[in-house]
Chain A
Amino acid sequence: MASGTFLTRGLGGEDMAAKEEALLETRDLTVNFHTYRGEVKALDHVQLSLYPHEMLALVGESGCGKSVTALTILGLLPQNAHVLEGQVLFKGEDLLKKTPEQMQEVRAEGIAAIFQDPMTFLNPVLTVGVQLKEAFLVQKHIWTAETRDMSATGTADSEIRGFLLEKESKKESSKRESGRERGKIVEELSKDILKLVRLPDPERILTQYPHELSGGMRQRCMIAMALARRPSIIVADEITTALDVTVQAQILTLLKELRDTIDASSILITHDLSVAAETADRIAVMYAGHVVEVASTIELFRNPLHPYTQLLLKCIPDVRKPVAHLESISGTVPDLIDPPTGCRFHPRCPFAMEVCRTTKPVLKDIGNGHMVHCHLY
């Protein structure tokens, strides 16, 4: 089996600048949570677009709605949440209209998720190999005959397809045999994918249990399982938060490498603007359930427009430029049961005007895809 070509982007070197159709789009997403204290207005008309081959970072402080946005996209909202309004368009279909069973299929083949604490998501009584195998086997279409001669895309499909065709030509079609063959293919693929996420000694890791691995290795396994499903979108929710800085740096480097080699877009959710600065192509800043600013990473750092983004950037200490005084934003994040009227940031905003208290701003495109949710512009 040829290894190493697995998952690599077939054509390579496409020009990112040519703005394609959005792969995923949320339109006016508004989500409330029922709690005994009242309705928590977690998301308010969230507009986001994710383009092919890009890494979009969703940045904000705790309670700003970044994880709720991810859960809504994945169809994993808890029971007490309900979507009041909006659409999540993925390949032209509204995910919010799908049944839970259909969503399970979307998560198996279209949108994969990786979360903060791998130990909660790995099964402690199964080996990594068994769990990884499952990730390969949930993709029904690879294993059914109809798709075998789909046009080559340069991904795992072609390898598997080639293998299956070769087998067919030898006229080995007993069911038992095909099961064993399938196991063999999956094992090869598992090893490849563990190599892809830079895990040393894949043979051994396949036979190990999650508790035998370190935090960084577990997170790599989670990434491998997400990649195994060859998703179009990977949602990574605070995946480095529980890791140490040196391990975080390794995982971020891996993400950057993968961005260049695999054929997928990703949404990186983080509270740490520095992490976003290092990895993302574009950044969307969220505050109290609103998307307040969206821009390319460089543009956002060079020319932040929303007062919240400007202040937030001043709050982050930078080891290269130590300061005598670190800024903070006065006040606290509002209670979303009773959010401020108008712009939700106005009670903490140094530039607040009368209009900010009464009218909610819209997310305005001010050129070059730089969008800001503020009355100042």
Chain B
Amino acid sequence: MDDKQTKKVRCRHCGHIFEVEAEAIHITCPKCRKDFWVALISLMGGKFV
């Protein structure tokens, strides 16, 4: 079973909301295929918040 943490993100271009790996910062939207970046600052004790 894949127990990797995930997070929901919102595409900066088309607004599509989808899940990616929690550590992902450079993301490609599966709907519009465009790339965008999100910040990653909240890893605490191995848990993303």
Do the two shown chains form a genuine complex with each other? no
Partner-B contacts on A (CB < 8 A): none
